[in-house]
Amino acid sequence: MPTSSGTGLAAMIRTWRNRLPPSAAALPVAHGRRALGLRREELADLAGASVDYIVRLEQGRATTPSAAVVASLARALQLSTAERDHLYRLARLAPPANGTISDHLTPGVQRVLTRLGDVAVAVFAADWQLVWWNHGWAGLVGDPSASPPRLRNFARDRFPLDDGPTHLARWPVTEADREATDAAVVCDLRRATGRYPQDERLATLIRELSANTRFARLWATGGVAAHREDQKTINHPAVGPVTVDCDVLTDGDFDLKIVIMTALRGSEDETKLRLTAVAGQPTNAPI
């Protein structure tokens, strides 16, 4: 039942939407704009939801959003960890517990990401689940938004269980040392199992990937390490092959992996990389 209180789910979503300026979400600010915060359609786009559903939430006609929707709203609204947990409780859901993998981006991390402009960047959770990407990333490797959220996982793409398409890269990608990168990803997943032994999503991922013979072979080595860097060549359909350095930065609090792809300054690859952003896919990067 809709609540008349200013502290319920509907009121808090409106409050958080109204306080977030579009510039904080890297959205253009039109001249003469009256709204200081996000418009409903902008929040819907950022959260990957329909405008109608945002309207229903804010009017109190939808009161039980799923955990996935709540997580997307928390990212889109750039909530603090405490605010995110409050949003979960208002939606009658248990907040993510300590010891489970977090998909949450803090406001500070989001500000850093938006200031990177068209640099190709994406954020993955500790289990290599994609939680955020920008226009530059979509332009370079293709827009992942057409794939179901559950399948947007880097490890799933590296160790497929069938002959279907990949879900994070829309065109062919080659690496300087694929075997080394595969081993690094597997070792990184084992490291995550030590940090998050109670996380069911991670446990399910490991069980499913174990059906892949390459994954099973690498998993059996027992290696533990973090994946930090490699070099890739993306065969882009508009600009041709683009060779980039891929660096992985880690957020210490939530073990998020910030993946940045750049090219050597002044090189032909840097020029191509810039062109991919111009020719890229129209996306605002939320999940």
Dihedral (CA of 229, 235, 241, 242) sign: negative
Asked whether residue 245 carries a pLDDT value surpassing 90, the answer given is yes
Is the pTM higher than 0.85?
A: no
Hey, what domains does the chain have and what are their CATH numbers?
9-90 (1.10.260.40), 107-278 (3.30.450.180)
- The pLDDT > 90 percentage for the chain reads 57
Q: What's the pLDDT tens digit per position in 49-81?
A: 899 999 999 999 999 999 889 998 999 999 988
Question: Of the ranges 84-88, 100-104, 161-165, 232-236, which one carries the lowest mean pLDDT score?
Answer: 161-165
How far, in Å, CA of 203 to CA of 197, rounded?
8
Residues 248-259 have a mean pLDDT of 84
Quote the longest CA-to-CA distance of the chain.
61
Half-sphere exposure in the Cβ direction for 25 (13 Å, CA): 32
